Structure 1
Amino acid sequence: MAVAFIIASGGVLAYAARKLRGTVTPRQTQLFGMVTASIFAAQMLNWPLPGGVSAHFVGGALAAIVLGPYLGALSVALVVAVQALVFADGGVLALGANVWNMAIVQVFGGYAVYRVASAYHESGAIVLAGWASITLAALAAGIQLGLSPAFGSELISVVTVMAGGHAVLGVGEALLTLVGVRLVDRLDAVDSETVEGGVAA
């Protein structure tokens, strides 16, 4: 399973990098650094859940909405990789699965929810995307853990704990996603005013 998810995650990230080739603007590069650093800091805070697992802010929907799904996936993947390789958080063998859950399932899943819901209500779409993205990622992780030898035949129990726990804690992810997106919007507005003021001067 570890090898399969390393290959699958690597393939999706390679495709994302190819789609972005020659299209990333200097502003997107700045946002990439800011969003990636913010997500890295936020992910270091963990809340324990029953059954030996934990929850934390992931930021996949935030990255997808601010950066787009391809650059967002690379942002979260970079965070997960640094945590695993430098801080031993998440483990190297689980890196492929963690990237799949947080940088692919959460980013692309959250972005899909946002795109559909934003036609009706922008802020509601951001909140819904934040909540749905982490719940989908937890569901994927629960299936992977439930099928692993470490948990034997406890698939239903593990999926219930992971998806159920994150569905509740996902409210926090949803609200933080909204705050993060609005903060970036505010910074963009300030930058635009500064540029216009400089041009006018």
Structure 2
Amino acid sequence: MKNKLKLKEIVVAAMISVIMGVVFTFIDSMYQPIQALLGPLGGDSIGGLYYVSALLSIYIIRKPGSALMGSLFTGIVNLLLGSPYGIHIIIASALQGIGVEIVMAITRYKKYNFVTMALSSLLAALLVTCRDYFIFGLDLYAGMIPLMLLVRAVSAVILGAILSIGLGKALNATGVLRGFAINSEE
């Protein structure tokens, strides 16, 4: 079956996830101070970084399930490294991966351009924002929600989609991704 994940694809997704889990642990340590200093918009401004594990996995592997797998693996690593968000990080990871998978499924996993990656990142951000609204009390900021959504959207596109595309292309340029679907650029 062409869309079945190969062992090397799972291993690469796991490697990306471990690296991103460590990066997320560092981001977690910055997120709270930034939010304390700049309010909710400060935290929202770096939120797009959290979508990289799902986006980079799908950008490189280009098969169903790779975004969800990458995102969940990262969430587990982040949780094991002591994420201050506890089990909620797994919920966020699942929502991020599902958001990316939905957009990619609509394109039948055939388009990996800026627009598709940006839409994937935006849907992931929207799903996580819905969780945040109920779990972390975003309703307390009712008047700020439109601005928060805008900041989250910009962050999702720049720090999520654009960064993931850039990282994917940079990794591919080194030759370490020979034999991966990223080499069949449209």
Q: Give the shorter-chain TM-score range.
A: 0.5 to 0.7
Unpaired runs of at least 5, structure 2: 180-186
Counterparts of residues 116-127 of structure 1 (less than 5 Å): 118=111, 125=113, 127=114
TM-score normalised by the chain length of structure 1: 0.62
**Aligned residue number for residue 176 of structure 1:** 163
SS at match of 2:66: helix
**Aligned residue number for residue 51 of structure 1:** 40
Unpaired runs of at least 5, structure 1: 1-18, 193-201
**Aligned residue number for residue 123 of structure 2:** 136
In the alignment, is residue 111 of structure 1 matched against residue 109 of structure 2? Answer: no
Q: Separation in 2 of the partners of 1:64 and 1:95?
A: 20
- Over 3 Å counting, the alpha-carbon distance change for 1:35 and 1:69 in structure 2 is farther
SS at match of 1:82: helix
In the alignment, is residue 164 of structure 1 matched against residue 150 of structure 2? Answer: yes
- Over 3 Å counting, the alpha-carbon distance change for 1:191 and 1:150 in structure 2 is closer
C-alpha root-mean-square deviation of aligned residues, in Å? 3.5
- Over 3 Å counting, the alpha-carbon distance change for 1:149 and 1:33 in structure 2 is closer
TM-score normalised by the chain length of structure 2: 0.65
Deviations 1:6-25 (A, max 9, x none): xxxxxxxxxxxxx99xx442
Q: Is the 8 A contact 1:61 1:129 kept in 2?
A: no
**Aligned residue number for residue 182 of structure 2:** none
Higher relative contact order (CA 8 A, sep 6+): 2
**Aligned residue number for residue 99 of structure 1:** 93
Deviations 1:4-56 (A, max 9, x none): xxxxxxxxxxxxxxx99xx4424313422332234324433355464274414
**Aligned residue number for residue 78 of structure 1:** 73
Aligned length: 163
Shift of 1:74: 1.4
